[in-house]
């Protein structure tokens, strides 16, 4: 009986997969979802922020800079207000400086930078990939939250950097402490 069910499932599975794909279409959407656990970064309304575009631009300081809008460190468990935030760079090994790269002009250029969080708890600087900082959230009804802004600043002045479009990825991991 198991063999028959396995044989039928093997025959029907390819039909189910291909049945949803039309022969002709104008647009194909590749859809993914990243559902955070109870500790996360949110917008001011409490909606999880799983992707954000940050573009560094020349600033009056002479550096390349960017700053996010006000976000929140958030935990759905109001009994766990002690949090840690780890930032990891997709272009750097843990312990290395945060790094953006550009290949304009057939040359590999890099732009190292630091990330600072600005909150009521004070400013905390993340200088290297893998750095972890601790935060205390404020209770707010059934959850804890802490307004925070992320500020990105290049290590070198923009006139010392190779011209081009630089890119990279930073991953944030928010964890409630036990």
pLDDT of residue 3: 43
What is the rounded average pLDDT for all residues in the chain?
Answer: 86
Query: Looking at residues 164-176, what average pLDDT do you find?
Result: 93
Query: Looking at residues 28-51, what average pLDDT do you find?
Result: 83
Q: How far is CA 61 from CA 30, 80, 111, 125, in A?
A: 40, 39, 16, 18
Domains of the chain: 37-176 (2.60.40.2040)
Where does the pLDDT of residue 38 fall: very low under 50, low under 70, confident under 90, or very high at 90 and above? confident
pLDDT of residue 159: 96
pLDDT of residue 2: 44
Query: For residue range 96-147, what is the model confidence (pLDDT) as tens digits?
Result: 999 999 998 888 999 999 999 999 989 999 999 999 999 999 999 989 999 9
pLDDT of residue 91: 72
Query: For residue range 42-86, what is the model confidence (pLDDT) as tens digits?
Result: 999 999 999 999 999 999 999 999 999 999 999 999 999 999 999
Task: Tell me the whole-structure pTM to 2 decimals.
Answer: 0.78
Short-list 98, 86, 82, 72, CA closest to 169: 98
């Amino acid at each position: 009986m198991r063999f028959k069910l396995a044989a039928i499932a093997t025959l029907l599975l390819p039909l189910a997969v291909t049945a949803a794909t039309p022969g002709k279409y104008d647009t194909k959407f590749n859809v993914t979802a990243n559902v955070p656990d109870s500790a996360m970064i949110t917008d001011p309304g409490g909606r999880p922020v799983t992707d954000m575009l940050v573009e560094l631009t020349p600033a009056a300081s002479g550096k390349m800079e960017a700053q996010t809008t006000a976000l929140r460190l958030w935990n759905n468990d109001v009994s766990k207000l002690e949090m840690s935030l780890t930032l990891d760079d997709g272009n750097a090994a843990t312990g290395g400086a945060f790094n953006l790269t550009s290949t304009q002009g057939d040359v590999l250029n890099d732009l190292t930078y630091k990330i600072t969080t600005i909150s009521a708890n004070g400013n905390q600087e993340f200088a290297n990939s893998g750095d972890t900082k601790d935060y205390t959230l404020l209770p707010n009804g059934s959850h804890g939250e802490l307004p925070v802004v992320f500020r990105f600043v290049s290590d070198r002045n923009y006139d010392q950097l190779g011209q081009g479009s630089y890119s990279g990825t930073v991953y944030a991991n928010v964890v409630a402490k036990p």
